[in-house]
Structure 1
Amino acid sequence: MSTQKNLWLLLSIFSLNLAIITLASDPDPVQDFCIPNPILASMIKTHHTFHTILPCKNSSEVITNDFIFSNMKTSGNFSETGLAVMPANPTNFPGLNTLGMSFARTDIEIGGINPPHFHPRATELIHVIQGKVYSGFVDSNNKVFARILEQGEVMVFPRGLVHFMMNVGDEVVTLFGSFNSQNPGLQKIPSAVFGSGIDEELLQKAFGIEF
């Protein structure tokens, strides 16, 4: 009887771990594809778009162009930090819906940066197409893994870890990044710390600075 109870306990623990692993990533698709129905999707859209709940349109209405994204031929608009990002996710690339992945083109002007940030729901893999970029991430022990990447090199940023980029060359950097989630999320450290409304006294004490 004791052996049987131990077996059930082990099975219960295994099932719980399996459930946790399953919940930790995008759900597996249950069909070949799910092109969002634009009318139904707009009806359920809220302030925050959750890309995993977009309803499908009838497969008879799906066309080849639903699986093609052509907006990465040129860069997006550059920000004050010299950064331009062109994302591809189910909101602008219907074919990605339910497939558990997304993509982005990033361009960084000379001297520009992609500030420290992280993606809470995805690991990111970047591929440098042009230029030289100082790139890296910080692990949970506050150890930095960083160096200059050149054309053709690839780097991975583990899920949830802070990472960053800076153009250290003499031409615009262009790179492409892929994510193992169709909604990886994005939290920029400067905005999260100084632009979110955290009490200034707390920040002064935390960073030892004065505003």
Structure 2
Amino acid sequence: MPPKMAVFLLVFHLLGLPIFASDPDPVQDYCVPNAKFGAGRTPRVSVLPCKNSSDVTTDDFVFSGMKNFAANFSETGLAALSVNPTLFPGLNTLGMSFVRADLRVGGINPPHFHPRATEIAYLVRGRVYSGFVDSSNRVFARVIEGGEVMLYPRGLVHFQMNVGNKPATIFGSFNSQNAGTQKIPATIFGSGIKSELLEKAFGLSPRQIGQMRRKFDPKTTR
């Protein structure tokens, strides 16, 4: 076979292979990281050596951090505790993580997305306007009440707002141990994108861009 034809067939074959973006399947029952090798310092604990199975206990698979959750609310009225292998090493290599989010009355979880995970959100209590926007710019949103569940597909922008007259609590679960979170306002105005581009993209004046930068990135001086 001519060399060029062989290269063409190889590339064609590779392009036809499915691309898997989710966490890899585990090759053992569990992998609780060995604390002496630095577990807890980074969410990428899957590269750390596992404990010897004889040293693993039931406590490695129980997380009590939500029991006495001390809400530290942001300006938007949101308090969240994200739990991945950094806080709960027992999750390591199992392809999942979770979050508790509390919303004050009128509080919001600003538009954001998770690049590596689909999220299922269970509303523990309250009434929340909840939704996401697909790639055709169509919004799927409604008010959900305690006991209902909403799904946010991976990589799509979604949001929540407490529209009830009492605090709301949400439990979210992700199909990745490190879902990642990018908040749209902070990503746009707090990441260092050139002001000139933002002015043209949003039709805002330099003064308005400066105001947005100060709001979402106090460290910036541009």
Q: TM exceeds 0.5?
A: yes
What residue in structure 1 maps to residue 218 of structure 2? Answer: none
- Relative to structure 1, the CA distance from residue 42 to residue 31 in structure 2 (aligned partners, 3 Å threshold; closer, same or farther) is closer
Which amino acid in 2 is paired with 1:120? P
Moved more, 139-148 or 66-75: 66-75
Q: Give SS of 1:205's match.
A: helix
What residue in structure 1 maps to residue 17 of structure 2? Answer: 17
What residue in structure 1 maps to residue 176 of structure 2? Answer: 181
**Residue 136 of structure 1 pairs with residue 131 of structure 2:** yes
- Deviation, 1:35, is 0.4
What residue in structure 1 maps to residue 101 of structure 2? Answer: 106
CA contact (8 A) 1:54 1:97 kept: no
Which amino acid in 1 is paired with 2:73? F
Measured against aligned partners, the alpha-carbon deviations of 1:169-210 in whole angstroms (never above 9, x if no partner) come to: 000000100000000001000010000011111101000111
Measured against aligned partners, the alpha-carbon deviations of 1:69-125 in whole angstroms (never above 9, x if no partner) come to: 011124432111111111221111111000000011110001111000000000000
Whole-Å separation in 2 of the counterparts to 1:100 and 1:54 = 15
Q: CA RMSD in A?
A: 2.2
| Structure 1 residue ranges, 4+ long, deviating more than 3 angstroms after superposition | 12-16
Task: Specify every segment of 5 or more residues in structure 1 that has no aligned partner in the other structure, as ranges.
Answer: 1-8
Which amino acid in 2 is paired with 1:40? F
Which amino acid in 2 is paired with 1:66? D
Moved more, 87-96 or 154-163: 87-96
Measured against aligned partners, the alpha-carbon deviations of 1:151-182 in whole angstroms (never above 9, x if no partner) come to: 11110000000000011100000010000000
What residue in structure 1 maps to residue 153 of structure 2? Answer: 158
Identity %: 63
What residue in structure 2 maps to residue 41 of structure 1? Answer: 38
Moved more, 109-118 or 49-58: 49-58
Whole-Å separation in 1 of the counterparts to 2:146 and 2:51 = 40
**Residue 54 of structure 1 pairs with residue 48 of structure 2:** yes
- Deviation, 1:55, is 2.3
CA contact (8 A) 1:137 1:161 kept: yes
CA contact (8 A) 1:51 1:182 kept: no
Task: Specify every segment of 5 or more residues in structure 2 that has no aligned partner in the other structure, as ranges.
Answer: 1-8, 209-222
- Deviation, 1:41, is 2.7
TM-score with structure 1 setting the length: 0.87
Say which of 185, 195, 198 aligns to 2:193.
198
TM-score with structure 2 setting the length: 0.83
Which amino acid in 2 is paired with 1:115? P
CA contact (8 A) 1:41 1:55 kept: no
Q: Give SS of 1:17's match.
A: coil
What residue in structure 2 maps to residue 3 of structure 1? Answer: none
CA contact (8 A) 2:113 2:182 kept: yes
CA contact (8 A) 1:127 1:175 kept: yes
Whole-Å separation in 2 of the counterparts to 1:157 and 1:209 = 31
**Residue 80 of structure 1 pairs with residue 75 of structure 2:** yes
Task: Give aligned pairs, total.
Answer: 198
Measured against aligned partners, the alpha-carbon deviations of 1:123-165 in whole angstroms (never above 9, x if no partner) come to: 0000111000001001001111101010111100000000000
Which amino acid in 1 is paired with 2:65? N
- Relative to structure 1, the CA distance from residue 34 to residue 148 in structure 2 (aligned partners, 3 Å threshold; closer, same or farther) is same
Which amino acid in 2 is paired with 1:65? D
CA contact (8 A) 2:131 2:139 kept: yes
